[in-house]
Amino acid sequence: MLEISNLSVRRGRLTVVKAVSLRIAAGEVVSVIGTNGAGKSSLMLSVAGLVPAEAGEIRFDGERIDGLKPERRSELGVALVPEGRWLFPDMTVEECLRLGAFRKDLRAQYRQSMDTVFGLFPRLAERRSQVVSTLSGGEQQMVSIGRALMTRPKLLLLDEPSIGLAPIVVRQVFEALGRIIASGLTVVLVEQNVEQALRFSHRAYVLTNGAVTLEGSSKELLNDPRIVDAYLSV
């Protein structure tokens, strides 16, 4: 479904993603792990089209998308849940979600999409008229995920969904994500919480200084001594 070959991304003077190649099949959950500054977020932003690719190709469903505008990629079915959530602070939950379904092809189904999101996050249904900036961090994350789901994506790019959340809230968010995945959505998950990411995904790529240094099934990686040493041993 998503095929990235030799992708390089530059932010300012630094090349933060260096000739990265990865493939993600439909229905797969793949995590991208790595330390701070390894290039994970830039990779996500580049797939969503918010940061231009310097070199290489990004294909989605066989079609090259690296030259397309972000809104066009959204139409094709790519949705990003950005790190730090990027919400519209003065809007209510319902308004925020509704914005996700403003695309022409989505307007007719917006009520159903909204019901799906509220079904997934009943908490949001309770707070639908509340202004987003007054919500807790976990609830804001739910709005951000919900807004992405409102675009009816095929591929969901999740950038650090657990960042800054209390462990119990992280569990709630991941439970909901589990239900989304069960519905057949393809997910790329970027996480610093490596154990959480590996338990959640089928396969994983390890990014170090912008390059893929390790890849494999999540089960294997969980027991890989290099991973255990670098990320899991505290």
Partner 1 sequence: MSELTATAGRQAVRPAAGTTGLVLAALLLVLAILFPMFVSRYWLALGITVLFWTSFSGSWNIIGGYAGQFSLGHAAFFAIGAYSSAWLYSVFGFPTLVGMIVGSAVAALMALCIGWIIFRYKLHGTYFAIGTLAMSEVLRVLAGALPWFGGNGGIPIPLAQERNWLLMQFQPMAFYYMFLAATVVIIALSAWIARNRFGYQLAAIRDSEDVAESIGISPTRLKLAAYVISAALAAPIGTLYSQYLMFVDPPTFFGLLVAIQVVLPAVIGGLGTAFGPLLGAIVLTFAIELSDRVALRPGASLLAYGAMLMVFSVLLPRGLWPLLSKMLPGATR
| Contact positions vs partner 1 (CB under 8 A) | 48-50, 69-71, 74-75, 79-80, 82, 86-92, 94-95, 98-100, 102-103, 106, 111, 114-115, 118-119, 122, 125, 128-129, 147-148, 150-151
Residue 18, helix vs strand vs coil: strand
Nearer to partner 1, 139 or 224 (CB): 139
Q: Which is nearer to partner 1, 90 or 175 (CB)?
A: 90
Measured in whole angstroms, the distance separating CA 2 from the mean position of its chain's CA atoms is 13
DSSP state of 133: G
Sheet containing 55-60, strands listed edge to edge, beginning at the edge strand earlier in sequence:
14-24, 2-11, 55-60, 63-64
Nearer of residues 5 and 86 to partner 1, judged by Cβ: 86
Alpha-carbon gap, residue 167 to 163, rounded angstroms: 10
Min. distance of Cβ 127 from partner 1 in angstroms?
12
Round to whole Å and give the CA distance between 14 and 173.
33
Nearer to partner 1, 6 or 134 (CB): 134
Q: How far is the CB of 210 from partner 1 (least distance, A)?
A: 21
- Which letter, b or e, does each residue of 72-94 get, where b requires 16 or more Cβ atoms within 10 Å of its Cβ? ebbeebbbbbbbebebeeebbbb
- Minimal distance, residue 92 CB to partner 1, in Å: 5
Of 54 and 75, which CB lies nearer to partner 1 in the complex structure? 75
CB of 217 to partner 1, least distance (A): 30
Closest by Cα among 45, 36, 17 to 163: 36
CB of 189 to partner 1, least distance (A): 17
Query: For residue 88, what are its two tokens?
Result: 């519209």
In the complex, the smallest distance separating the C-beta of residue 32 from partner 1, rounded to whole angstroms, is 18
| Residue placing its CB nearer to partner 1 in the complex, 77 or 216 | 77
CB atoms within 10 A of CB 57: 15
